[in-house]
Amino acid sequence: MSPFQVKILPDAERTLGNLDTLVAERVLRRLRWLGANVDVVRPKPLHGSLDGFFKLRVGDLRVVYSLDWEARLVQVHLIGNRDEVYKRRG
């Protein structure tokens, strides 16, 4: 199957821009990997106020994303350290 497109939404884009260059590149590499492998990985679902979203761990950071299977799209909503990300939606 064709890979998913990865779309980084404005909040996540701002955070990504504030990260150290090497860390940001690591996040982007991981997101490209996710887009190419969504069909074979088991996404980690979130609960509570983040129900319907999934998480991707990149070192100490968490990437909160949603999946649109019909459009084959990964939408990245939040990027940040574990405590910050889970509190921002709560």
- Report d(CA 45, CA 26) in Å as an integer: 22
Q: Which CATH superfamily is domain 5-88 in?
A: RelE-like (3.30.2310.20)
User: Would you say 32 and 24 are in contact if contact means Cβ atoms under 8 Å apart?
Assistant: no
Find the mean pLDDT for residues 63-82.
95
Q: pLDDT higher for 7 or 47? A: 7
State pLDDT tens for residues 8-56.
999 999 999 999 999 999 999 999 999 999 989 999 899 888 999 999 9
- Report d(CA 84, CA 89) in Å as an integer: 9
Q: Model pTM? A: 0.91
Find the mean pLDDT for residues 57-83.
95
Question: 44 pairs with which residues across the strands?
Answer: 55
Strand 5-8 and strand 73-81: pairing?
parallel
- Report d(CA 48, CA 87) in Å as an integer: 11
